[in-house]
Amino acid sequence: MRAGNAAKRLLVGRPLDSGRLGETLLPKRIALPVFCSDPLSSVAYATEEILLILALGGLAVLHLAWYAAVGIVVLLLVVVASYRQTCYAYPGGGGAYVVSAENLGRRAALTAASALLIDYVMTVAVSVVSGVAAITSAAPSLDGHAVAMSVFFVVVLAWMNLRGVRESGRWFAAPTYAFIAVVYLMFAVAGIRMATGATIRAESAALPVEQVSTYSGLALVLLGLRAFASGCTALTGVEAVSNGVPAFAKPKSRNAAMTLAIMGGLSATMFFGITVLAMVYEVHVAEDPTELGLPPGTPMSTALAQIGRATFGDWHVLFYALQAVTAGVLILAANTAFNGFPMLASVLGRDRYAPRQLVHRGDRLVYSNGIVLLALAAITLIVAFDAQLTRLIQLYIIGVFVSFTLSQAGMVKHWRRELATPAGATYAGAAYAGAAYAGATPAGAAPVARHTIRRRLAINAFGACLTAVVLVIVLITKFTHGAWLVVIAMPVLYAGMKGVRRHYDAVAAEVAVAPGDRPHTLAENHVLVLVASVNATSLRALSYAKTLRPDSLTAVTVAEDPAEVEVLRATWEAHGIDVPLRVLSSPYRSIVQPVMRHVRDAPERTGDSVISVVIPEYVVGHWWEQPLHNQSALRLKTRLLFMKNVVVIDVPYRLASARELAAESTGTPSA
C-alpha cells in the first residue's frame, strides 16, 4: 500500500486542493496547443488523404485536389466562425451537447454526445497512428512495431494528462509551436528556391499512378466528393475549444474565441500551403505500393515527408526536424481528445447519462476516470485495426460533422429565441447552469445589439447548412469503406446512455421517500458472529456485537475438522465466553454454503426482523499480504448482500503492518 501511494505520487504528483482550481486555468499561449493540437496537426495528413482517393482515378483526376482544398479551407473558416459564436453564448462549455440539449431537445443532445465521444476516441487513435507513421517514414525499419509504439504513446499521453491540464499543456506547447515554425520555414524555403528558378519534384513524381477504373460523369463527381470528404479530416477537433471554455483564463469567452481564430488562420494556411506544394512537386501516394509500380511491402513515405525531403534537399537536418516535430505534434494532437472527452463525460455523468464516477475530479483536478476510459478505448481500437491509418481514417469525421451540424442548428434556434425576447438582446457572459440554460443576466454583463445577434444568426445558419451538406457527402462516400461501423456505434452508444439514465431514474424512484417519512423501527435484530478460533479478532467482533443490544447473539463456526471443533469448544469454555456457540456441519468442506443455509433457515427470522452477520477481518499494510487473508469472508459477503433483511458488518482488526502504515500517514505512534 505504501509502495503504491509512493508510486502514484511519483507518477501523478501530489494532490491539489479544490481551492486551487483557478490556478489550472489556461492563457491563450498554452490553450492553443492544449485544445487546438488536433486541427493544427490534421494538416499533416489531410492533403495525403485527398491524393490517396484521387489516385484511384489516375493522373488525369489529380487536378481535382485544388477544388477539394479550396472547399475545405472555406468550410474550415465557416466552422471556426460558427464556433466562435458558441464560445460567447455558452461560456459554461459543453459544446454541441449543451447547445443541443437547450435548443433541440435531449434526443439531439445525446446524438451529438455519442458522435463526439466516438470522435474523441478516433482522434486519439488516428493522431497517434499518424505520428507513428511519420516516425516510420523517417525510420522504415520500425514499421513492424507500429502497434506497440502506438499503444506506448497512448499510455504516455494518458499519464501526462493525469498530472494536470496546465502541466501537460506546458509539455505540449513546444512540439506544437515547433511544428508550426518548421512548416512555415518549409514554405519559405520552397518559395525562395522556386523564385530563384529551382525545379523541385517529389521522389514519387516519376512513379506511374495506375488508375483502378475509369471515372467520368457522375462517377468522377463522386470520386471528387469522396476526396473532399477524406480531406475534411483537417476539421477534426475544431469544436474542442467551445467544449472547454471554462478551462480558459478570464475573460474566458474572448480568449476562447481568439484562440479559435488563431487556430483557424494557422490551419487554413498550412493545409492549403501543403496542398499547393504537393501539387507543384507532383507528389504521388497510394494505399498499396504496387499501384505506383513498387514491389509489394515497400514502405511508403507520407506526402508531407516527400514534400519536406524535396524542399530541404541536402539539408537533411531540416528534413529530420520536420519529421520529428510532425511525429510529435501528431501524437500530442490526441491531447485535444484527452481534454474534450473527460469534460464531456463529466457533463453526461452530471446529467445521469453516464456513470457518476466520471463526474469527479482526481488528485490533480482533472477528470481522471474519463482520461483512463479514453485511453483504454483508443488502445482497443488501435490493436483491433493493427495501427493501420488508412483503415482507421475511414471511421473518422462522421461524428465530427454530426456534432457540427447539431451544434450550429442549435445555435440558430438560440439566436432566434434571443431576437424574440422583449428586450431584443442577449448578454455577453451569460453562463450555462445545470441541465438547461438559466437565462439569467450576470452582474456587469454587457447587452448585445440586435444587429449583432442577426449577424451571429446568419453565421450559424450558413454553418449549419454547409456542415449538413458535408455530412451527407461524407455518409455517402465513406459508408461502404468502413464508416458504417460508426453509423452502428452511434445508436448503440445512444441506447447505452439512455439505459444509464433509466437505471439512475429507477433507483431514485425506488429509494425516494414521501414528505414526513421517518426511519422505520425494526421489530428485532438477531446477530450472528462468525468465528474460527478464540483469538483477538473474534473477541473484538463479539465485543462489538454486544454494543448493538441485539435481541439474540450467537457465535457461529463451520465444522470442517471435528478435532478443531472440539479444541474450539474447550477454549471457548476455558475463556468463559458468555455467548452461545453454534457449530454448523460441512460435509463438503464449504464455509459459505452452511452459513447461507443457517441464515436463511434461522428459526428467529421473521418478516420484519433483521439478521446481522458480523465478520471479523484482518487489515494488512502490504499489498502482498492481502491475498493471504479474508478470501472466505469476501466470498461470503458477496453472497449475503443479496439476501433480504440481512446486514453484513465488517469488524476490522489491524495487524502490525497496518498499524505501522497508519502511524506513518498520521504521525502517531503505532502501538
Instruction: Give residue 42's pLDDT band: very low, low, confident or very high (50, 70, 90).
Output: confident
All CATH 1.20.1740.10 domain ranges of the chain, comma separated, are: 40-421+449-503
The proportion of the chain whose per-residue pLDDT surpasses 70, expressed as a percent, equals 84
pLDDT tens by residue, 313-339: 878 889 889 988 888 887 777 877 887
Find the mean pLDDT for residues 400-409.
Answer: 88
Residues 6+ apart with CB under 8 A from 301: 137, 203, 204, 309
Residue with cell 462468525: 530
Are 62 and 286 within 8 A, CB to CB?
no
Residues 6+ apart with CB under 8 A from 5: none
The confidence score (pLDDT) of residue 547 equals 93
The confidence score (pLDDT) of residue 530 equals 93
Find the mean pLDDT for residues 511-517.
Answer: 79
Amino acid in position 417: R
Instruction: Give residue 86's pLDDT band: very low, low, confident or very high (50, 70, 90).
Output: confident
**Mean pLDDT over each residue of the chain, to the nearest integer:** 81
The confidence score (pLDDT) of residue 376 equals 94
Instruction: Give residue 51's pLDDT band: very low, low, confident or very high (50, 70, 90).
Output: confident
Phi, psi of 652 (to 5 degrees): -80, 145
Are 74 and 267 within 8 A, CB to CB?
no
State the burial class of residue 394 (Cβ atoms within 10 Å of its Cβ: 0-12, 13-18, 19+): buried
Phi, psi of 559 (to 5 degrees): -90, 90
Instruction: Give residue 494's pLDDT band: very low, low, confident or very high (50, 70, 90).
Output: very high
Is the pLDDT assigned to residue 609 strictly greater than 70? yes
The confidence score (pLDDT) of residue 436 equals 36
pLDDT tens by residue, 225-280: 888 888 888 888 788 888 778 888 888 888 999 999 999 999 999 999 999 999 99
- Between CA 73 and CA 320 the distance in angstroms is 28
Are 227 and 50 within 8 A, CB to CB?
yes
Write down the CATH number for the domain with range 40-421+449-503: 1.20.1740.10
Is the pLDDT assigned to residue 441 strictly greater than 60? no
The confidence score (pLDDT) of residue 292 equals 60
Helix/strand/coil for 652: strand
All CATH 3.40.50 domain ranges of the chain, comma separated, are: 524-664
The confidence score (pLDDT) of residue 430 equals 42
State the burial class of residue 499 (Cβ atoms within 10 Å of its Cβ: 0-12, 13-18, 19+): exposed
List, in sequence order, every beta strand (DSSP E) within 240-301. Answer: none
**Number of helices and strands (H, E) in the chain?**
23, 9
Helix/strand/coil for 204: coil
Find the mean pLDDT for residues 588-594.
Answer: 83
Crossing angle of helices 165-195 and 316-332, in 10° steps, is: 140
- Between CA 36 and CA 30 the distance in angstroms is 10
Is the pLDDT assigned to residue 110 strictly greater than 90? yes
Fold of 524-664: Rossmann fold (3.40.50)
Instruction: Give residue 215's pLDDT band: very low, low, confident or very high (50, 70, 90).
Output: low
The confidence score (pLDDT) of residue 663 equals 66
Q: Residue-wise over 118-134: b if at least 16 C-beta within 10 A, else e?
A: bbbbbbbbbbbbbbbbb
> 609-619 and 524-530 as β-strands: parallel, antiparallel, unpaired?
parallel
Which residues, in sequence order, are bridge partners of residue 426?
Answer: 448
